[in-house]
Amino acid sequence: MNEGLTKTQARNIFYGGSLFFLVIFVGLTVHSHLYALNTSTNNDQLTESVAAGKRVWEKHSCINCHTILGEGAYFAPEVGNVFVRYGGLDDPEGARETLRAWLVSQPSGVEGRRQMPNFNFSDQELDDLIAFLEWVSKIDTQNWPPNDAG
């Protein structure tokens, strides 16, 4: 009796194991995609203004300083929850106005603080960027960032 694996047995274990883990990988990938699309994001609230706000975000390379949902540079605060930090849950219009005023007033000139440049956003760009930040703040991030400050 042979105590080791034959080449055929080893090949069958390799192919069977590879197929098994490939099926698991594809299943988890499909599940993750459907979860992100249907559950964790507020896909139904995705508007043209939100998409335009994302383009403003990309045009000005905001991610070079800020993180959004944990991605990006860590020079400036996380902005994935900035709308909530500005009171957007209780007073969305007030949060929009405050964010607009803050963005327009930059750089603040406060000594010892990092300064955000003034990008001279148009009114439409401000509306779109704030719509984008509001939309992002409503994504179910499963408690990311771990604190309100980001």
Cα separation of 56 and 25, whole Å?
35
Mean pLDDT of the region 54-76: 92
Model pLDDT, residue 95:
95
- Quote the pTM value: 0.78
Instruction: Give the mean model confidence (pLDDT) for residues 81-102.
Output: 94
Write the pLDDT tens digit of every residue in 38-51. 888 888 889 999 99
pLDDT at 71 over 90: no
- Other Cβ atoms within 10 Å of 81 Cβ, number: 24
Q: What is the mean pLDDT of the chain?
A: 91
The confidence band for 101, taking pLDDT boundaries of 50, 70 and 90, is very high
In the Cβ-directed half-sphere of 13, how many Cα atoms lie within 13 Å? 6
Q: What is the separation of C-alpha 97 from the centre of its chain, rounded to a whole number of angstroms?
A: 22
Report, as an integer, the average pLDDT of 2-8.
85
* Predicted pLDDT at 70: 85
Q: Helix or strand or coil: residue 75?
A: coil
The pLDDT of 66-74, averaged and rounded, is 89
Mean pLDDT of the 60-87 span:
91
Higher pLDDT, 24 or 140: 24
| DSSP symbols for 6-48 | -HHHHHHHHHHHHHHHHHHHHHHHHHHHHHIIIIIS-GGG--H
Cα end-to-end span (Å), the chain: 64
> Could you say which DSSP state residue 86 is in?
T
pLDDT of residue 39: 85
